[in-house]
């Protein structure tokens, strides 16, 4: 399956630099995922709600257990926020963590308690699996760092607009077959969605790297439509959505 690649200015996955604060609850699909690691320390990824039972995120966000927070704008204000603990996650069977990039970096977290939809909690649609259209105008949102010198993540949801252009991938990006989708800049949060002009989630924020050529750093997204069969079969087998 193919990934999206984006040049990126002075940023890394896990940061929203040069963006702006989102209108509260304007991205009701967004989720904060608190991960319990073997060290017992907690760390965070972003994710997004697909339906009442499943949240999508990046496979490199895997952990021993998860707390999923829905309906969040300011993470320090929990009034009305749904907190759901889960130990049930499904990582793509071909996920690979190499020295340079994650491959097949996609994961579903099953919510044992169904999400309750309201103004601040709503699912997001995915693109049709057979769609040949490529997104042009997209947006990434998350609770990542807001500056290069920041020591902590943002307490409020931030977002950044991305203008996407379609170019041929250079050879050094050959792990992404055929075409990749490139943008002049992008700053994103691990596990969060790339949401485009039709309001659907096209990608999952995965990783970044800096080419040896000295070109701008590249941000990589898992291309969701390539995993439609896996997503649908996983949710059908493990879920009870109705």
pLDDT, one tens digit per residue, over 164-199 is 554 544 423 222 333 344 443 344 478 999 898 899
Backbone angles phi and psi of 15, in degrees to 5: -135, 140
Which of 3, 46, 73, 105 is labelled catalytic?
105
Instruction: Report the predicted TM-score, pTM, of the whole model to 2 decimal places.
Output: 0.83
**Contact status, residue 30 vs residue 192, Cβ threshold 8 Å:** yes
Q: Which residue has tokens 């749904």?
A: 82
Which residue spans of the chain are classified as CATH 2.40.10.10?
3-21+124-224, 30-123+228-238
Query: pLDDT digits over 134-155, tens only?
Result: 677 888 888 865 444 445 566 8
CATH class label, 30-123+228-238: mainly beta
Q: What average pLDDT does the structure give for the chain?
A: 78
Active site residue 60: yes
Rg (CA), the chain: 17
pLDDT at 7: 43
pLDDT at 157: 92
Query: pLDDT digits over 38-91, tens only?
Result: 777 778 899 999 999 999 999 999 999 999 999 999 988 888 999 999 999 999
Which of 183, 190, 206, 225 is labelled catalytic?
190
**Contact status, residue 164 vs residue 138, Cβ threshold 8 Å:** yes
pLDDT at 84: 98
**Contact status, residue 197 vs residue 138, Cβ threshold 8 Å:** yes
Q: Does domain 3-21+124-224 have CATH number 2.40.50.140?
A: no
Which of 3, 11, 46, 60 is labelled catalytic?
60
Active site residue 99: no
């Amino acid at each position: 399956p193919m990934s999206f690649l984006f040049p990126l200015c002075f940023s890394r996955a896990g940061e929203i630099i040069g963006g702006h604060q989102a209108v509260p609850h304007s991205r009701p699909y967004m989720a904060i995922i608190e991960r319990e690691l073997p060290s017992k320390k907690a760390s965070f990824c972003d994710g997004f709600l697909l339906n009442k039972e499943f949240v999508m995120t990046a496979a490199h966000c895997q952990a021993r257990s998860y707390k999923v927070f829905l309906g969040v704008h300011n993470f320090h204000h929990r009034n009305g926020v749904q907190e759901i603990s889960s130990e049930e996650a499904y990582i793509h069977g071909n996920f690979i963590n190499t020295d340079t990039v994650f491959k097949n970096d996609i994961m579903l977290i099953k919510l044992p308690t169904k999400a309750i939809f309201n103004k601040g909690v709503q699912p997001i649609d995915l693109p049709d699996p057979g769609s040949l259209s490529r997104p042009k105008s997209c947006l990434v949102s998350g609770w990542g760092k807001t500056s290069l010198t920041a020591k902590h993540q943002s307490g409020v949801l931030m977002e950044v607009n991305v203008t996407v252009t379609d170019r041929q991938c250079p050879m050094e990006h050959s792990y992404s077959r055929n075409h990749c989708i490139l943008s002049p800049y992008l700053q994103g949060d691990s596990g969060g969605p790339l949401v485009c002009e039709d309001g659907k989630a096209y990608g999952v924020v995965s990783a970044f790297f800096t080419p040896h050529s000295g070109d701008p750093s590249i941000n990589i997204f898992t291309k969701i439509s390539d995993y439609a069969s896996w997503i649908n079969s996983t949710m059908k087998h493990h879920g009870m959505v109705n």
